[in-house]
Structure 1
Amino acid sequence: MYDVIIVGGGAAGFYAAIKIAEQAPHLNVAIFERGKTVLSKVKVSGGGRCNVTHGEFSPHELASNYPRGQKELLGPFHNHAPGDIMSFFEERGVPLKIEEDGRVFPVSNSSQSIIDCFIGETERLGVKVLKNSSVKQFKKNESTEGWQVTTMNKHYQTKKLLLATGSNPKIWEQLRAIEHTIVPPVPSLFTFNIDDERIHGIQGISTNASVEIPSKKIFSSKTNLKLKSAPKSEPILQSEGPVLITHWGLSGPAILKLSAWGARILHDYRYSFRVNINWVPEYSTSSMEGYLKEIKEVEAKKTILRTNAVEIPRRLWINLVKAAGIEKDLKWADITKVKLYNLAEQLTVCSFKVEGKSTFKEEFVTAGGVDLKEINFKTFESKKHPNLYFAGEIINVDAITGGFNFQNAWTGAYLAAQAIASK
């Protein structure tokens, strides 16, 4: 018999176990992990450095990074936010640093520092960690108001059950069986697969750009060309930030932000859509055209290909000049109005056809999970079943990249632990 069983040996599970054991040392706490190792997602996060959280200390600003969960997490972030998790690690001998982009990492630049801290704390506090313990079923014990948890070959009884299993379809199915609503999961945080001459051979280039995804209705399904008769419409998604050209297409913070906010829309599009890049966000097509006319007057004798007229990487400039139909020896003095407009358009409305997606590194994130309306966000307890709690990605919360998904895990685990320990 356990007082608390936590299903899932990841970030949320370990943090909750430690917080429960600290606040209520008399409770018998166990973590059930289905795999051979614990904290596997922590290990690969941030390229193996572990992006612990983000250095955003305003709850309102912090919550704005969550496409799903923004409203619900605002209150919890007032109770437990990045400053709290940073203090937790630093008080236990794991110094952290905030990098220029706001991401927080251990000074060691190794996720093993975080893993060692968690394992050391659970051992010190007497939390049992049961590996190779895949939960096959959990059901209410009506006589005790607790839960029965069944693994491959054993039944366990517990007073409180905390599910921190991440995106686990089998656990979601069991929750459906006890009348919880599960929002169907779709991928979030992914890069765009694009096969286009304009970005061939220049992988590794990163530059600040504005990115938009227009409504599919303004494109012909047969030709993928803009329909002249179609009315102009606002983009369905847009962001600005660094765009990274890769072997397979486009990535970088601006693209990843779009993939998070547009997770459901892009899933409905079956990951086949157009994306427009403005490589010089301070310009529109018309203002860029005017600027290029000025360049034509000033640099008349120079060849266009060798005159990088805007602040973008040189190899990208060369590819866009070629895409505008401009010959390599053409001088500014000799450029036609049509070609000059084409170049302005390539720079400001560079349209690419996206066909498919790629997972962003090993950090697979899904949009979907337990419906937020069925969770008490003061305690992260189920509104349908007493003594059942959730933490982490099992619920329908996800965020853009940068440590925000971990912060959701820490905050939910902390509030669930407080509620469990206080009872």
Structure 2
Amino acid sequence: MNSNFDILIIGGGAAGFFTAINIVEKNPKCKVAILERGSEVLSKVRVSGGGRCNVTHACFEPNELVKFYPRGEKELRGPFHQFCSGDTVEWFNNHGVELKMEADGRMFPVSNSSQTIIDCFLQATQKLGITVLTGQSVQSIFKKDNLWKIETQNENYITEKLILATGSNPKIWEMLQTFGHAIVNPVPSLFTFNIKDARIKELPGVSAQVSIKVKDSKLTSTGPLLITHWGMSGPAILKLSAWGARILSEKKYQFTIFVNWLNDSDSEEIEQQLKKLKQEQAKKMVSKKSPFDLTNRLWESLVLASNIQEETKWADLSKVQIQALSNQLTKGIFQVNGKSTFKEEFVTAGGIDLKEINFKTMGSKLHENLYFAGEIVNIDAITGGFNFQNAWTSGFILANAV
């Protein structure tokens, strides 16, 4: 049997729901359905932001906002001028959800629960008469006389306009390739670095403001770094993993990083400071107290790594030791051996080639009445609410277009 809809949305996640709600709010007569392959909708929204749902980021200037997208920076400029983070805040406010901003700019529902966002979407789809169908895994997509025909394992659907909001779904990408769309091969983004190193082995939980560089590449990053049981994490590492998603994949996640534990101080400057400390703190033990903005535990570990004994006094430091310590502080060399997924925030770089999308409508340039929303396209961002913002913006533009 065939079910007919004006518009069919495949994918019951953030982008799919936001698109559906915006379409029917603008055009209440429109018959819209959402097909979801899983048994429940919005499951990624539920776990995002540690279960609090990091809805967007308090960066309200489109030309600044695009800088958080390793893939999509150029393409999103126009869309963000139409629907930016401020519009997101207003949209949720109008739908009964108040957002708040945290110190790092991330924005969450005031309730601190992702359930608030899920309830908002479910209530809106109910009120607007949008059909939500779960357990519908798409088996094939056909195009026949200006109509799209979708087959799931137990049902056929016919629709005038087809919207794909399936995220990083290889099966759907394969189907799109049969329609002539190019897919940029997906690689992981937002991951932490596995590093086995005596200097950090005993320090899980310690953090520092650092700058990092990947050897033999142009990749650099600054920000907080967190030492974990497996190696290194925190914003500085996650940013590096997003901007370097392709390069690090090519290196098979085996590479060398340089860590400057003192952010942007250079080694000569630090060497001078250490010589001064040698005079001023002559009788004190080097390893005991950090003279820099580092925890004492991390300081002690770097001192020992510079071949300076625990009881060595400042006065007794040799030129070679001072140089070694300066290098440990500003040019620490660490071998990365593999990666780990960051919490449950699984993001991939890859998807539909951006050249094949009209960013004024989010429509396919190859097929009429075929549209894309969210992460199915080759756009991804660093952590902080930016991937959701892409879902809201693409959904809003798409709703206007159809």
Asked if these proteins are the same fold (TM beyond 0.5), I'd say yes
Residue 139 of structure 2 aligns to which amino acid in structure 1?
K
For each residue in 1:14-62, what CA deviation from the matched residue of structure 2 results, as whole angstroms up to 9, or x when unmatched? 0000001101111110000000111011011111110001000000000
Q: Give the 3-state SS of the residue equivalent to 2:374 in structure 1.
A: coil
1:267 aligns with 2:246: no
Q: Give the 3-state SS of the residue equivalent to 2:116 in structure 1.
A: helix
1:112 aligns with 2:94: no
Note the 1:362-373 alignment, pairs <5 A. 362-373=344-355
Q: Give the 3-state SS of the residue equivalent to 2:21 in structure 1.
A: helix
Q: Indicate conservation of the 8 Å contact 2:210/2:260, yes or no.
A: yes
Note the 1:121-136 alignment, pairs <5 A. 121-136=124-139
Deviating 4+ runs (over 6 angstroms): none
Q: Give the 3-state SS of the residue equivalent to 2:265 in structure 1.
A: coil
Residue 204 of structure 1 aligns to which amino acid in structure 2?
G
What is the CA–CA distance in structure 2 between the aligned matches of 1:166 and 1:254, rounded to whole Å?
25
For each residue in 1:253-297, what CA deviation from the matched residue of structure 2 results, as whole angstroms up to 9, or x when unmatched? 111111000000000000000111101124211111111000000
For each residue in 1:339-391, what CA deviation from the matched residue of structure 2 results, as whole angstroms up to 9, or x when unmatched? 11111000000111000001111010000000000000000000000000000
Q: Paired residue for 1:147? A: 148
Q: Indicate conservation of the 8 Å contact 2:289/2:296, yes or no.
A: no
State the 1:417 CA deviation.
1.1
State the 1:188 CA deviation.
0.5
Note the 1:11-160 alignment, pairs <5 A. 11-141=14-144, 143=145, 145-160=146-161
State the 1:207 CA deviation.
1.4
Q: Give the 3-state SS of the residue equivalent to 1:60 in structure 2.
A: helix
For each residue in 1:43-96, what CA deviation from the matched residue of structure 2 results, as whole angstroms up to 9, or x when unmatched? 111111100010000000000111110000000000011111111111222111
Identity of aligned residues (%): 57
Note the 1:331-342 alignment, pairs <5 A. 331-342=313-324
What is the CA–CA distance in structure 2 between the aligned matches of 1:259 and 1:340, rounded to whole Å?
32
Note the 1:314-325 alignment, pairs <5 A. 314-325=296-307
State the 1:337 CA deviation.
0.9
Q: Give the 3-state SS of the residue equivalent to 2:315 in structure 1.
A: helix
Q: Indicate conservation of the 8 Å contact 2:203/2:298, yes or no.
A: yes
What is the CA–CA distance in structure 2 between the aligned matches of 1:409 and 1:93, rounded to whole Å?
19
The count of aligned residue pairs is: 399
State the 1:146 CA deviation.
1.9
State the 1:121 CA deviation.
0.4
Q: Give the 3-state SS of the residue equivalent to 1:333 in structure 2.
A: helix
Residue 263 of structure 1 aligns to which amino acid in structure 2?
A
TM-score by length of 1: 0.93
What is the CA–CA distance in structure 1 between the aligned matches of 2:379 and 2:264, rounded to whole Å?
33
Note the 1:237-276 alignment, pairs <5 A. 237-276=219-258
Residue 314 of structure 1 aligns to which amino acid in structure 2?
N
Q: Paired residue for 1:391? A: 373
What is the CA–CA distance in structure 2 between the aligned matches of 1:356 and 1:282, rounded to whole Å?
26
State the 1:307 CA deviation.
2.8
Note the 1:260-409 alignment, pairs <5 A. 260-409=242-391
What is the CA–CA distance in structure 1 between the aligned matches of 2:99 and 2:208, rounded to whole Å?
28
What is the CA–CA distance in structure 2 between the aligned matches of 1:363 and 1:329, rounded to whole Å?
44
State the 1:236 CA deviation.
1.7
What is the CA–CA distance in structure 2 between the aligned matches of 1:312 and 1:299, rounded to whole Å?
18
What is the CA–CA distance in structure 2 between the aligned matches of 1:266 and 1:310, rounded to whole Å?
32
Q: Paired residue for 1:231? A: none
What is the CA–CA distance in structure 2 between the aligned matches of 1:306 and 1:105, rounded to whole Å?
41
Q: Paired residue for 2:170? A: 169
Q: Give the 3-state SS of the residue equivalent to 1:361 in structure 2.
A: coil
Q: Paired residue for 1:203? A: 204
What is the CA–CA distance in structure 2 between the aligned matches of 1:251 and 1:75, rounded to whole Å?
33
Q: Paired residue for 2:188? A: 187
For each residue in 1:232-254, what CA deviation from the matched residue of structure 2 results, as whole angstroms up to 9, or x when unmatched? xxx52001100011110111111
What is the CA–CA distance in structure 1 between the aligned matches of 2:257 and 2:113, rounded to whole Å?
36
Q: Indicate conservation of the 8 Å contact 2:362/2:394, yes or no.
A: yes
What is the CA–CA distance in structure 1 between the aligned matches of 2:399 and 2:295, rounded to whole Å?
50
Q: Give the 3-state SS of the residue equivalent to 1:202 in structure 2.
A: coil
Q: Indicate conservation of the 8 Å contact 2:210/2:264, yes or no.
A: no
TM-score by length of 2: 0.98
Q: Indicate conservation of the 8 Å contact 2:21/2:128, yes or no.
A: yes
Unaligned runs of 5+ in 1: 216-234
Residue 192 of structure 2 aligns to which amino acid in structure 1?
T
Residue 182 of structure 1 aligns to which amino acid in structure 2?
I
Deviates more, 1:235-244 or 1:119-128: 235-244
